[in-house]
């Protein structure tokens, strides 16, 4: 009788544990993709250094296969006015949603980070033009750290840029 009880208990609870794991993975994807969108909108569309400052970890490092390394958050923020915020066209970035992979990072059983990999496209729209022009496609890897203030981006890799 006890064996039957345990079998039923495990049989009933197991599907719920799978559902809750799937929900947490979905929530993780929703959270990271929301932050990703917020960051790139702040960089390319709004030039909002306050939002960028909140989303970047103090130890943030940016690696780019064509323009080199940005060694820290302060340099990244200073570079905005000479980079994306000074362009003579509207720059946008789009993520290939199907390419997104998320890998939770654990230490002693606790989630401390999420590695986000994917492919993104960059577009330019010049004044007077009605269409955006694809300028490049690249791969990216972002390491998001869970901090006291929320998720912050600590490592940014943008690589394998292919110009159109």
Residue range 24-43, pLDDT digits in tens: 888 999 999 999 999 999 99
> What is the number of residues in the chain?
164
> What is the predicted pLDDT for the residue at 8?
40
Q: How confident is the model at residue 20 (pLDDT cuts 50, 70, 90)?
A: very low
Q: Rounded CA gap, 139 and 158, in Å? A: 6
Residue range 102-141, pLDDT digits in tens: 999 999 999 999 999 999 999 999 999 999 999 999 999 9
pLDDT, mean of residues 33-61: 96
Q: Where are the alpha helices (DSSP H) in the chain?
A: 2-40, 49-55, 73-79
Within 8 A by CB and 6+ apart from 58, the residues are 73
In terms of residue numbers, what domain contains 68? 2-163
> What is the predicted pLDDT for the residue at 5?
40
Residue range 63-99, pLDDT digits in tens: 999 999 999 999 999 998 888 888 989 999 999 999 9
CB distance 162 to 138 below 8 Å: yes
Q: Which residue carries 């390394």 as its tokens?
A: 69
Task: Please tell me the pTM assigned to this model.
Answer: 0.82
Q: Rounded CA gap, 109 and 103, in Å? A: 14
Check pLDDT > 70 for residue 16. no
Q: Where are the alpha helices (DSSP H) in 41-161?
A: 49-55, 73-79
CATH of the domain at 36: 3.10.450.50
Q: Rounded CA gap, 67 and 1, in Å? A: 69
Domain tally, the chain: 1
């Amino acid at each position: 009788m006890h064996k039957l009880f345990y079998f039923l208990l495990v049989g009933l609870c197991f599907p719920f544990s799978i559902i809750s794991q799937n929900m947490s993975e979905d929530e993780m994807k929703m959270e990271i993709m929301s932050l990703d969108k917020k960051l790139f909108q702040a960089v390319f569309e709004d030039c909002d250094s306050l939002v960028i400052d909140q989303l970047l970890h103090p130890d943030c490092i940016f690696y780019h296969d064509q323009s080199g390394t940005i060694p820290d958050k302060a340099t990244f923020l200073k570079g905005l006015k000479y980079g994306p915020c000074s362009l003579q066209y509207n720059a946008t970035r789009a993520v290939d949603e199907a390419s997104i992979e998320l890998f939770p990072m654990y230490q002693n059983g606790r989630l401390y980070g999420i590695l986000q990999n994917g492919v993104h496209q960059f577009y330019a729209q010049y004044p007077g033009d009605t269409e955006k022009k694809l300028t490049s496609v690249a791969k990216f890897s972002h390491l998001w750290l869970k901090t006291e203030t929320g998720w912050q981006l600590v490592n940014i890799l943008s690589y394998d840029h292919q110009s159109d």
